[in-house]
Amino acid sequence: MQVAKCPTDELSLTNCAVINEKEQLDQHVNVRNGACSFVFSLRKHPGVPPGSIGFSLPQVCRSLYIRCFYFFLVSNYRFDKSKQCISSMTMEIDFLQKKNVDSNPYDTDKMNAEFVQHFNNQAFSVGQQLVFNYCDKLFNLNIKDMEAMDPSILKGKKGSGDKQKIDIGLLIGNSQVIFEKSETSSVTLTGRSRTRESRQSIISPDWNFEEMGIGGLDKEFSDIFRRAFASRVFPPEIVEQMGGKHVKGILLYGPPGCGKTLMARQIGKMLKAREPKIVNGPEILNKYVGESEANIRKLFADAEDEQKRLGANSGLHIIIFDEIDAICKQRGSMAGSTGVHDTVVNQLLSKIDGVEQLNNILVIGMTNRPDLIDEALLRPGRLEVKMEIGLPDENGRVQILNIHTAKMRQHKLLGADVDIQELAIETKNFSGAELEGLVRAAQSTAMNKHIKASSTVEVDTDTAEKLQVSRMDFMGSLNNDIKPAFGTNQEDYASYIMNGIVVWGDLVSAVLKKGKLLVKQTQNNQRTPLVSVLLEGSPNSGKTALAAKISEESEFPFIKICAPDKMIGHSEIAKCQAIKKIFDDAYKSQLSCVVVDDIERLLDYVPIGPRFSNLVLQALLVLLKKPPPKGRKLLIIGTTSCKDVLQEMGMLDVFSTTIHIPNISRGEELVKALEVLGSFSVQECASIAKALKGKTLSIGIKNLLMLTEMAAQV
């Protein structure tokens, strides 16, 4: 083919060779002039004569060393995308024209992003020269070196780490361009892309979470990578051929303090995308009509503008919504409101996946209340990846504690007696934020030992140099300072068993034994994640104490007592919400135990009428039968003194089993109870046994305890 001039100035800046529209050539061609050979991507334009191929001046004079009207060989070239995708490309940079030289610093990271977008899916060869227009300045680039993308990375596997040099490569969205000054160049460069840095580590699923400050979220991060970013790793044309679309939204939900915001922040850094826009939900709202919707539009304006300019080559724009439930409540749910929330939801829906779709965005929403969010926002195509960021397990707690004690360990301020594994075992149901608080509390305790409190508060410099955070500091903070929000409050059930359990006969031992079996079943059996038992018996027979004892001995991470004394004065709706919250909190733990005490009191049952709260009854019937989420296990222990009433209400059927708690009915049992209580001497107990011989009794253990204490005062 004959060499021709590039028909337009715009095409001369594309680094593409230009042919006539009627020519039948592939997307990439090999251009050979004797021993000199380069591969170019093609564009078509009617201004190029048939049988000719147009080049820009740098391509002809500096790369091919030929003049116009010369002839040379042109052949189709096809890339092996498993071996020729560019991982990194190093090129020398200088001003194209000396008259345009300036001393302004140029950010190579931004240049890298602009270059990859502008020349995406184009062919490059080592030794080739081209012109790059950046910030209205023309730069001359000379390709010095190229390395191939490891094919195992493209398949989502761990890279081998070997660097493969190539002479011809295809630039893709994940390629990295490294800019270096030539010896005579006067360009001032800033940014990380001035030096060689492997981009493959950014897209590898093999992360070092501790360096990123994330602990206990390995699986969640890997799942997000697989769902949301796998399509962005592959070359765009492969995704297009598959008919695939990028994931545009992720919803992170879970208890407070478990790392949702931290994970969203790291996702932005991981992709080396545009600087993420982080927005708190309430900041969107504005008192003026239409301003809230305008705030949503402003967030997407940059992405829209870039997609119009660059199309499929546009970079990724990340928008992070913290507390997204504040602006995306279910439409029509707020009676008497101005409707601002509804229009904000509509605007957000249209921007993420409306008629004019944006394919260069990733919206990350975070909330503690996913149930409040409008369901239209959660469908595929919008916030389709829903990831629960729950409480860390034991291994996760080890990672988090290692992260927060790393500096102390580095500077030898952590005591040798501190066992991170032991702390992880003791901190069941602690969130990541609570574990960080525990470390801070232990540090404060250790520092407080070296403060002299006299007329002034000052540090004892003599002992401060020996400062170390010891195991006792951690344990003291664990017992006194930091309590998990979703953990076990021992004060709740300690008051119910303050006098211990009086084992006055085999019947009590049998109840405790059955309780242990139910605990064991909950822990070990995979087929029955929900186990419920009802302890029924006469008033004052010790049902609540036995329930508290069984729950305490279970040593489950989450133990909560749902008692009527916590709901005095509550309306029916408030009572239902309080009960539901206890169960919702229980579902967040791997192993949970909920004691539903005095069920008839929760139901507001009275025999006169009779009357009871049907709203609370229906709520309990649903919650007692509802199985916990996958991977979670729940033990429910209910207590009642009105078995017949619950039978009529249909509540007995929702419990897995029922255990009868008897009263003391024989003299031998009474004497045994008195001996355990220790309120009477041996002679007095013998006298009581003689007086009760042959008589039948019915006395609750709580009544007996009260009577013995009264007798002791006489």
Percent of residues, the chain, with pLDDT higher than 90: 6
Mean pLDDT of 61-82: 69
H or E element at residue 577 = helix 572-587
Amino acid at 584: D
Distance between CA atoms of residues 444 and 467, nearest Å: 11
662-700 per-position pLDDT tens digit: 888 777 777 777 777 777 777 777 777 777 777 777 788
| Structural domains present in the chain | 2-76 (2.40.40.20), 86-190 (3.10.330.10), 210-388 (3.40.50.300), 394-481 (1.10.8.60), 490-662 (3.40.50.300), 665-713 (no CATH)
Is residue 680 within 8 A of residue 671, CB to CB? The reply is: no
Give me the active site residues, please.
Answer: 543-544, 597-598, 625, 702
Question: Which residue from 16, 52, 231 is spatially nearest to 128, judged by alpha carbons?
Answer: 16
- The chain-wide mean pLDDT, for the chain, equals 79
224-245 per-position pLDDT tens digit: 777 777 777 666 656 667 777 7
Instruction: Check the CA dihedral 260-265-268-269 and report its sign.
Output: negative
For residue 47, the tally of other CB atoms under 10 A from its CB is 14
Question: Which residue from 159, 390, 149 is spatially nearest to 257, judged by alpha carbons?
Answer: 390
pLDDT for 637 beyond 90: yes
SS3 assignment for 611-671: ECCHHHHHHHHHHHHCCCCCCCEEEEEEEECCHHHHHHHCCHHHCCEEEEECCECCHHHHH
Distance between CA atoms of residues 485 and 429, nearest Å: 8
At 601, list the tokens.
């009191």
From 146-160, 523-537, 626-640, 697-711, the region with the lowest mean pLDDT? 146-160
At 257, list the tokens.
């303090």
* Number of residues in the chain: 714
Question: Which residue from 370, 267, 251, 359 is spatially nearest to 314, judged by alpha carbons?
Answer: 359
126-174 per-position pLDDT tens digit: 888 888 888 888 888 888 888 888 766 545 455 555 678 888 999 888 7
The distance of Cα 472 from the centroid of its chain, to the nearest Å, equals 32
Q: How sure is the predictor about 506, in pLDDT bands with cuts at 50, 70 and 90? A: confident
pLDDT for 496 beyond 70: yes
Amino acid at 491: E
SS3 assignment for 264-292: HHHHHHHHCCCCCEEEEHHHHCCCCCCHH
**Residue 205: what pLDDT?**
42
At 8, list the tokens.
């337009």
Amino acid at 396: G
